[in-house]
Structure 1
Amino acid sequence: MTVRRIVPNHQVTSEEQLETSRDFYALLGFEQVMDMGWVTTMASLTNPTAQISFFTEERTAPVVPDLSVEVDDVDAVYAQVVASGAEIVRELQDEEWGVRRFFVRAPTGHVVNVLTHHA
């Protein structure tokens, strides 16, 4: 299995908090690369896999994940995680915006969004 990127996710409670977060991270060299209305992602200008996302909500899952991990084979990772007995927070499924993903609870209690982009 190959990890392609890791993205911290922050839940914001208002459009104002989202705007001030975008402004702050722009000072650190990030630019907005995705805005789906309920999730916005910013990436480094010089290293596009260095990213941070801001969620106002999670549209297809019960919670906003704390972290997103993009892998090369989400189905294989899902099988390993299920076999380990870890708590699946959201089952594996395809999303309309081109990712296949599931959520799992880490031993620390954090929820991890594990995903692969469709080719």
Structure 2
Amino acid sequence: MSIRRVMPDIRSEAMEESRDFFGLLRFEEVMNHGWVMTLASPSTPTAQVTFMSHDKTAPVVPDMSVEVDDVDAAYAVMRESGAEIVHPLQDEKWGVRRFFVRDPNGRVVNVLSHR
């Protein structure tokens, strides 16, 4: 299993203001579903930050996202370790397969792969 990218997820009720603010640093909007928006660096597209008002199918907004090449393998490793699964592995309508797990600091990590 390899890591493709890691990004912070920020709970926000100020999506447009966040886009405008980070736009000053030259981030560009690359995804926006209304409740979740991702901004990326045009020169380094994997340098990203995501803003969420809520999560469409999960009980909490994650603190960070980690994209891996094999989410099923990551899920198996986390379950075998006894880590707390906050949101079960599932396919989402917007094209990702993901699960949430709580890290030792209490932070919720969204682990995903694009389908």
Class of the TM-score when normalised by the shorter of the 2 chains: over 0.9
Aligned partner of 1:35 in structure 2 is: 32
Equivalent of 1:94 in 78, 91, 94 = 91
After the TM superposition, which parts of structure 1 deviate over 6 Å for at least 4 consecutive aligned residues? none
Aligned 1:14-93 pairs, distance under 5 A: 17-93=14-90
Cα distance, 1:105 vs structure 2: 0.2
Cα distance, 1:7 vs structure 2: 1.1
- Cα-Cα RMSD: 0.6
Write the letter of the residue equivalent to 1:55. Answer: M
Task: Give unmatched runs, 5+ long, in structure 2.
Answer: none
Could you list the per-position Cα deviations for residues 68-87 of structure 1 after superposition, in whole angstroms to 9, with x for gaps in the alignment? 00000000010000000000
SS in 2 for 1:114: strand
Taking only the aligned residue pairs, the percentage that are identical comes to 62
Cα distance, 1:28 vs structure 2: 1.1
The two structures have a TM-score, normalised by structure 2, of 0.98
Task: Give unmatched runs, 5+ long, in structure 1.
Answer: none
Write the letter of the residue equivalent to 1:93. Answer: Q
The two structures have a TM-score, normalised by structure 1, of 0.95
Cα distance, 1:29 vs structure 2: 1.6
Structure 1 residue 11 corresponds to structure 2 residue 11: yes
Write the letter of the residue equivalent to 1:22. Answer: R
